[in-house]
Structure 1
C-alpha cells in the first residue's frame, strides 16, 4: 500500500504546485497593479510595523481562509455545477494568491528572520526553479504569451473599430 500511495502523493503535490504556479503568473501582475494603484497607507504601515511572528500569522490568514475553496469547488464540479465550481476555484485561488503576494511583499524581510520559514521558502524556491526549467513549463509560458498577444490584438482591433464608428457617426 505504501508503494502505491507514495508516488500518488508526489503526483498530487506536483499538480498542486503546478496549479499554484500557473495561477501565480496571473496573480503577480494583479498584485503589482493593486500595489501601484491602491494606497492603504495606514494599513501598509501597520503591516510593516509587525514583528516576525505576527507577520507570519497575518501571512497565513489568506491561506487558511481561502484554501478550503478548492475542495468546495471540487464538490460543486462533482455535483454537476461545473461552471460554479470553476468560478469558485478561479476566484478563490486568485484572491488567495494576490493577498499572499501582497503580504509577502510587505513582510518578506521579517518572515525570512524565522528560520523555519526561511528554510521552507528556500525549498519552495528550489522547486519553483526546477519547475520553470522544465520543457512543459516553457511550453505553457509560450502558450500563455501567445494567448496574451491575441487578447491584446483583439483589444486593439476592438478599440480601433469603436473609434472608427465614433468618427463615422460624427
Structure 2
C-alpha cells in the first residue's frame, strides 16, 4: 500500500515537473520573442545594450530583479485569495508567472554569453539542459503525451474543417482565401 502511494506521488511529481518544464519551454521562446520585439523601441535598445555589457556577476545579480519586482504582486494575490477573491488572486498569480517568465527569458538571452564565461555556471547550465532534455523526451514518449498529441491533432483538423464550412456559408459559396 505504501509502495503504491509513493509510486503515485512520484508519478504525480514527475508530471508536475514535466508540465512546468513544458510551460517554461513554450513560454520562454514566445514570451522572449515578444519582449525582444518590445526591446526594439529606441529607449529600450539602450537598456538592452547596457545589460549585454554587464560583467558576469552583475549579470547574474540582474536575475533578482524579476523575483523582487513580482514579490509584492504575489503577496497581494495571496491577500486577495485569503479575502475570498479567488479568480482575481489566481489571475494575478498567473499574470506574474507569465510576466516573470518573459522577463527572465529576455534577461537570460541578453546575458547568456556573459554568464557562460563563468565556468561553474556553464557546467551547471549544461547539466540542467541535459536533465531538461531527458525529462521532456520521457514526457513526449509517454502514452499520455501520445494520446494528448493525437487528440490535439484531431481537434485542429476538426477546427480547420469547421472554419472552412463556415467561411463557405458566410461567403454564400464563393471561394475564399482559406480554401
* Residue 122 to residue 13, structure 1, CA distance change in 2 (3 Å): farther
* Residue 68 to residue 134, structure 1, CA distance change in 2 (3 Å): farther
Gaps of 5+ in 2: 1-6, 172-179
CA distance in 2, matches of 1:99, 1:12: 29
Q: Is the CA contact 2:39–2:48 (under 8 Å) kept in the aligned structure 1?
A: no
| More helix as a share of residues | 1
Aligned residue pairs, count: 159
> Alignment RMSD, CA only?
4.4
Gaps of 5+ in 1: 1-6, 165-170
Measured after TM superposition, the shift of residue 72 of structure 1 is: 6.2
2:88 aligned to 84, 90, 94, which one? Answer: 84
TM-score (norm 2): 0.62
Q: Is the CA contact 1:63–1:100 (under 8 Å) kept in the aligned structure 2?
A: no
* Residue 144 to residue 90, structure 1, CA distance change in 2 (3 Å): farther
Matched with 1:22 is: 22
3-state SS in 2 of match to 1:134: helix
* Residue 71 to residue 147, structure 1, CA distance change in 2 (3 Å): farther
Matched with 1:129 is: 133
TM-score (norm 1): 0.65
* Residue 75 to residue 125, structure 1, CA distance change in 2 (3 Å): farther
- Write the mapping of 1:44-83 to structure 2, written as runs, cut at 5 A: 44-66=48-70, 73=77, 76-77=80-81, 80-83=84-87
Matched with 1:36 is: 37
